[in-house]
Amino acid sequence: MAAYIARRIGQALLVIWLAYTLVFLAVQLLPNDPVTIFLSADAAADPATIAAMKAQYGYDQPLIVQYFSQLVGLFTGDFGYSLASGQPVGERIGAVVGSTLVLASSAFVTAVVFAVVLVASATLARKPWLKRVVLNLPPLFAAVPVFWLGLVLLQVLSIKLGIMSLFPDGSFASIAVPVLVLAIHVSAPIAQVLLKSVDNVHAQPFIDVLRAKGASPSWIFFRHTLKNAAAPAMTISGITVGTLLAGSVITETVFARSGLGQVVLQSVTAQDVALVQGLVLLTATAFVVVNLVVDLLYPLLDPRILKSGTHGAPRALVA
Amino acid sequence: MSIKLDEPLTRVEAQDNVPVVAPLKVDEVAAPKRKAGALRSPAFWLTCVPLTMVLGWALFPALFSGFDPISGVPAQKFQAPGAEHWFGTDHLGRDVFARVVHGTSQTLLTAGLAVSIGLVVGTGLGLLAATAGRAADTVTMRLIDVLLAVPGFLVSLIIVTAFAPGPISLGIGVGIASIASFARVVRSEVLRVRSLDYVEAAFMNGGTYWSVVSKHILPNSCGPVLALLAVDLGVAILAISGLGFLGFGSPPPTPEWGLLIAEGRQYLASAWWLTTLPGVVIVAVVILLAGLGRQLHKIFRF
């Protein structure tokens, strides 16, 4: 167990380090440095201003120094400075991230519940037509753009029916509707993977044994199938962190909510590469941490994972 | 251990190192029969015919709508959908259906650029991982983990921030985000094919690495890649219209699907058709592409 945990944590750190290195290299590969890009919209920027600003944010240091000082910063919670406001990226994001976290986490919980309900009703439905309808919902949910669904709901609920305001006012509807829009989008991949995995579990002999012993379909589903089918669905849930973030940004824009979405839009419009770089690193770190948690939860579900060890990498293909 | 999903729908699904509790269901009966059956099934044609029509919109938009997508007739502004203007008209009196039809090429070109980047780079990385030895596999798979860890949305944002918004920046950004799923599918397919007897036979007959890879391995592993291609085109269209909605794509007045909906947003209260109907087209196209991916997967499942 300890070896498993150590290996997973090591891999997580490696991925964060690689993500940092790739983003650093990508920023170096840009035709200009972040300061020049930021000031490019500003016609009056003279070389002295650019040089002063570069010195202020450390962009005049040798690359290797920049690389290591930023890397050390990353592990001490320093994600660099926004060029537009001069604020630390961490502070800038910290001020607004709360509302995005509330939105994203409620949407995530709703999505998981939604996916389980969908899969349970598809599995336990007695009527074939009902089953067909439910089975077709996840592909539909996957195809609906978040911004469009949000706008259509706004149209119907607030303009046609008048039961919610166009702008967030703290009412239940103005919180629940954005969560629902995001949850529908995120539930699609989770439901699809869970459906597939439930099918795989139902093909196993122990299900036949349970059935022969007289267990009811719903007992089998909730007591046995769900636990055995959970692992792939957990993996996909971990991967939806990226989708959740992108979806949150768009949902916040549609429903005029404050949050990370505003920072993202402002930083892109102002061509603030440093802020975007910080955002990317922060998100990658969040993604890796969530997936590490998922990895550490697997052995609780299925102790066999501890024994399987590393998968054999393929040897080179030669004659 | 690998999980093969025979109905890929979203990019994140196509991954191969998911720990699986259940053994995989082996379902390999009468592949050739199923192949012919899939081509004859009405579902296949029900997805292909409308998609061909959408392709027609992109190639010859003027054939499908007689109205001008850029300059409107101010006297006819805000007309509700009807026999003359199928999707109604906007604040400048432009026909919305014409703007959707003329916007198809812009959206499809951007999505096509994205998918081509994903396909080419992803195939290269997947092939490298599966055939170039253990060290190459480990390095490549870690690289792919990193690509998965940085949300595609943010990759697009970095590119758009650094090189001014526009369709090309957008296509490159969305394309980089789709590399990982292609690399994973190509890797697992190549690993499956390379262990087959005919690959060994080809080497025994004096085949070199490149001849065997290009003549035997790649052609025989293309089925699931084609299926992913269709699905990923839909995912790219969704991503591009989302970013276009935020204003990072083509500038107005170019008709682009996401931008059309963003423009209609100001008239949400008075003209519902400006946002609703272009969105229905996006949903339909993405569902059709996902359906095509499923059909292709059935056809190529050996």
Q: pLDDT digit string (tens) for A260-302?
A: 888 888 887 777 777 887 888 888 888 888 888 888 888 888 7
Rounded Cα gap, residues A108 and A317, in angstroms: 43
- Is the pLDDT higher at A112 or at B162? A112
Identify the DSSP state of A76: T
Instruction: Write out chain A residues lying below 8 Å of B136, CB-based.
Output: 316
Q: Considering only CB atoms, which chain B residues are within 8 Å of A267? A: 161
Task: Please give the structure tokens belonging to residue A256.
Answer: 């005029």
Query: A228 versus A303: which is more confidently predicted?
Result: A228
pLDDT at A106: 93
Quick one: pLDDT at residue A318? 65
- Put simply, the chain B residues between 216 and 235 with a CB less than 8 A from any chain A CB are 234
For residue A205, the model assigns a pLDDT of 92
Give residue B121's pLDDT: 95
What confidence category does residue A201 fall into, taking pLDDT thresholds of 50, 70 and 90? very high
Q: What is the pLDDT of residue A110?
A: 95
pLDDT along chain B (302 residues), means of 10: 42 44 45 58 83 87 77 76 78 82 88 94 92 86 82 79 80 90 90 87 86 87 87 91 84 81 83 86 91 84 59
Which of the four pLDDT bands, split at 50, 70 and 90, describes residue A43?
A: low
CA distance A314 to chain B (A): 6
B161 token code pair: 């921030």
* Chain B residues closer than 8 Å to A242 by CB: 12, 148, 150-154
Contact B158 A26 (CB under 8 A): yes
B139 touches chain A (CB under 8 A): no
Average pLDDT, chain A: 83
d(CA A116, CA A104) in angstroms, rounded, equals 18
Contact A143 B12 (CB under 8 A): no
pLDDT in tens, A235-261: 888 888 888 888 888 899 888 888 888
Q: Where do the H-state alpha helices sit in chain B?
A: 31-40, 42-59, 61-64, 96-131, 134-149, 152-162, 167-194, 197-204, 209-212, 218-220, 222-245, 257-264, 273-300
Round to whole Å and give the CA distance between B20 and A119.
18
- Given a cut of 90, whether residue A55 has pLDDT beyond it is no
Q: Could you tell me how many CB contacts below 8 A there are between chain A and chain B?
A: 240
Assess B273–A contact: CB distance below 8 Å, yes or no: no
pLDDT of B125? 93
Q: What angle do CA A94, A154, B50 make, to 5 degrees?
A: 105
* Contact between residue B286 and residue B234 where contact means Cβ atoms under 8 Å apart: yes
Question: What pLDDT shows up at residue B301?
Answer: 67
Within a 10 A sphere around the Cβ of B63, how many other Cβ atoms? 10
pLDDT at B6: 45
> Cβ of B25 under 8 Å from any chain A Cβ?
yes
At B30 the pLDDT is 43
